[in-house]
A and B are shown apart, each in its own frame.
Chain A
Amino acid sequence: MATPKDAIKEKSMIIQKEMLTKQFQELSKAKELGKKVVYTFVPGNLIELILAFDMLPVYPEINALQSGMRKKSGGFIKDAEKMGHSEDVCTYVKCDIGMMLNGNIGPTGDKIPEPDLLLLSYTGCFTFLKWFENLNRLYPNAEIAMLHTPYQEAGKMTKEQVDYMVKQLKEEVIPKMEKVSGNKYDPEKLKKLLRNSVQSEDYWVKILQTAKNKPSPIDAYFAGVYYMGPINTSFRGTEECVQYYKELYDEVTERAQQKLLPVTPEGIIPEEKFRLVVEGPPNWTNFREFWKIFYDMGAVIVASTYTKVGGLFDMGYRQNPEQPLESIAEYCMGCYTNMNLPQRVDLIEKYIKEYKADGFLINSIKSCNSFSAGQLMIMREIEQRTGVPVGFIESDLVDPRYFSYANIKNRLESYFQMLEQRKIILQQETV
């Protein structure tokens, strides 16, 4: 097998790598620095609150996906299965548990410190609950706080739901954070962080919307997962994050002005043949190979749902520093996987129309029922509403046993042939 050439990287990717390296180094020295460590989840995360208490976040899902990209997840998963976990369940959980069993070494080679606080932001994924029950047993000395985010059952957030969350923040989460960090809650500090968040959110939305250009200067799925990193995880609320998104915005705006196509690890895509909307997380174990299939076909992802697991800022939501806790509650409830199925269908339909997509593709993930259960119905609905060809492939988050390159490539090639045919027919009809 040929050795892949060195990946081409955008400047913003290099900046982000520096940010992450710094963060992991800080984490490895947390105890020396006297900083407390919080384990929490990406969707509906409370990063501004965590930072307001001068604590450091660790995201087990991010550890898992990085293990996947570093080809370590397969071994970790097997170790978790040896201790009794079923093959059928979420591989993020198993990868995380396997990583802990193997010393909890992070991507920089440094040990990730044990948690002082397990902050279960229970948003949009039932498995989070189980995951933290397991973590609680692995780290019995860590304080644990639960924030239950109600599902958008009726397709909207209600005042009662916001009140429920604010009460939990006031009575459960903040007191635990005060206890663990030794710091008092400072609303002014939180407001300042939220003001920074709003700036990052504004840039992020403008970046996403550059994909409305033809050709699109960004890939909103494969590159999108890099772009979304700072805002969806540890950096939202910081000035560093604002600077990152300003830099990224300048970069993609320049590319849009020059009609340049997205940068991929293989180089700049030569031609935008197809514009797609994608639903579902990517596969991490074979991420580059997976992306390359799209590169080879000239397929650019112009909008994706996965990049909204950390919030739907492009639909207008912004943090409100004047009502910080209410705003955090709404942020949590607004994450993509906390939306009901009709809302998800409406959103995808909107993306297809606004971003003038040629097709809609689902990457259905074995491990993730929150995304996957119901996707075949989403597919039917979208097909009926928009008439665009829909495609369906299956893989997993971090279990390499469930990534079949030949199978996926075969299916995608057939799908792109269908898109090609449709384009020809549509052109003939226009003439």
Chain B
Amino acid sequence: MQSIDELLTYCEKVAFDLNFAHAKNWKSQNEKRVIVGYLPIYVPREVIHASSGLPVGIMGVGDRKQIIKGDAYYQSYICHLPRGVIEMALDKNLDGFDGFLFPAICDCIRNLSGMYKLAHKGKFQRYFDYPQNFDPKIGGVFYIQEMEKVMDDIFNINGVRADVNSLNNSIRLYNINRRLIEAIYDIRQEFPWRLSAVETYHILRAGIAMPVEEHNEILKQVLDYIQTDRGEPMDNIRVVVSGSFCEQPPIGLIKSIEMAGCYIVDDDFMLGSRWILGDVEENTDDPLQALTNAYLYQSQFSSAYYDVGNPKGKRLVAQANKRGADGIIFSAASFCDPALLDRPEMQKECDEAGIPHINFQYHENTGQFKVIKEQAGTFSDSIKLWA
């Protein structure tokens, strides 16, 4: 068994390897294996896994790669994430990927799917459309068709057709994965000093670049380690961070929030890995229907999900209350229409619920955190002194 420090070092390495060597090595061991890259936020990874595929999350380059070519593809008023995703493709970081999925989250990611088509990157480039109709006979049917298209894409490459058994098995593995992640969050809610937000982030992000079986083993070990005390408790407030679900914040930003006196007890950084709340039915004759039901009825609130009838502001407040958070930090990428257009209504809900909040914007490669640290520090002090 590795020490927790070894595990964390390993996860950080896998999470931020922009050449995805770990995934490519996995693929090289069997000619039927394929790698399918996906953009934020959520895709049902089970259908890829069940087709002998490795779903690999492409979350941008963060502050680990200088963008030169990517900037020539985007105007200044478009977010940073797609620049890095184009740069990676042009720099051959993504060679060896068999296909790419671009989930329906915003017009930038949608149009990026077309750019990949024009650039002929991968053997398929598919815009993955979530239904915004939640009637199982309408939107549910559409969602199954979307999943079948992905299964067809993979079958056309490796000849492997996911069946009931393989899908049930994949569902079971991803259920375990989500359960372990939630168990870690539950412990962090009580004892956030045992695993910092940055460490948690590294562990979760590594999980989208390695097989789920391996990630489950790592999560189990981490969970064991944090059953007992680790680190020193600080006089910090507890916050939920919201709005960082697509373009990821730089690690320095997450660290700055915690160093400024805010334990992050919940967040939406790696929302795709936690999208489904609870288990997907795993011993079923119709696993695609089970995945569909999970999407229709068990989705976490998200800016990519039409929320009339179940507004996300109220769900955010419920999440903050459940986690015992003292406040909410709205942290969105600049020019992120989904997050920023949701923010005023979510803030209004916080006001009505009496939950303090602050907000700021970032780019994935933001390098200066002094202002953010001061803002978060003042937020923490104000809650500690006057709340």
Contacts and interface: CB of A to CB of B under 8 A. Distances in A.
Interface string B128-145: 010111010111011001
A130 B138 contact: no
B177 interface: no
A284 interface: no
Given A126-B105, A340-B117, A148 B132 contact: yes
B113 interface: yes
Interface of B: 72-75, 77-78, 82, 104-108, 110-115, 117-119, 126-127, 129, 131-133, 135, 137-139, 141-142, 145, 303, 306-308, 311, 332, 334-338, 340-345, 347-348, 361
Interface string A338-378: 00111011000000000000000000101001101111110
18 contacts: A84-B343, A85-B340, A85-B343, A88-B336, A89-B341, A122-B132, A129-B306, A133-B311, A146-B133, A153-B127, A168-B133, A168-B138, A340-B117, A372-B77, A374-B73, A376-B72, A376-B75, A377-B118
B127 A151 contact: yes
A353 B166 CA distance: 51
Interface string A83-125: 1111011100100000000000000000000000000001001
A136 interface: yes
A341 B114 contact: yes
A86 B306 contact: no
Contacts of B332: 86
Contact of B129 (A136, A150, A372): A150
Centre residue among A89, A134, A366 by max chain B CB count within 10 A:
A89
Given A153-B127, A373-B111, A374-B112, A130 B337 contact: yes
B361 A86 contact: yes
Nearest to B342: A130
A381 B118 contact: yes
Contacts of B129: 150-151, 153
Contacts of B107: 125-127, 369-370, 373
Interface string A153-186: 1000000100010011001100000000000000
Given A373-B74, A394-B75, A144 B361 contact: no
A341 B111 contact: yes
A401 interface: no
A171 B343 contact: no
Nearest to B131: A148
A150 B75 contact: no
Contact of B77 (A125, A136, A342, A366): A366
A2 to B, nearest CB: 32
Contacts of B145: 160, 164
Contacts of B82: 373
A57 B270 CA distance: 41
Nearest to B312: A133
B126 A153 contact: yes
Contacts of A5: none
Interface string A320-350: 0000000000000000000011101100000
B332 to A, nearest CB: 8
B312 to A, nearest CB: 8
Given A84-B343, A127-B107, A167 B78 contact: no
A151 B332 CA distance: 26
Given A148-B139, A376-B74, 4 more contacts: A146-B306, A146-B308, A171-B138, A373-B82
B340 A88 contact: yes
A341 B308 contact: no
A96 to B, nearest CB: 12
Contacts of A345: 118
A129 B335 contact: no
A76 to B, nearest CB: 15
Contact of B337 (A90, A132, A172, A364): A90
Nearest to A80: B344
Nearest to A396: B77
Contacts of A129: 132, 306
Given A126-B105, A151-B129, A172 B306 contact: no
A377 B115 contact: yes
B338 A126 contact: yes
B324 to A, nearest CB: 26
B335 A134 contact: no
B90 to A, nearest CB: 12
A84 B347 contact: yes
Contacts of B311: 133, 137
A126 B142 CA distance: 18
A125 B133 CA distance: 16
B340 A89 contact: yes
Contacts of B127: 151, 153, 340
Contacts of B342: 130, 133
A124 B65 CA distance: 32
B118 A369 contact: no
Nearest to B105: A126
Contacts of A164: 131, 133, 138-139, 141-142, 145
Contact of B341 (A83, A134, A370): A134
B75 A84 contact: no
B133 A148 contact: yes
Contacts of B119: 377
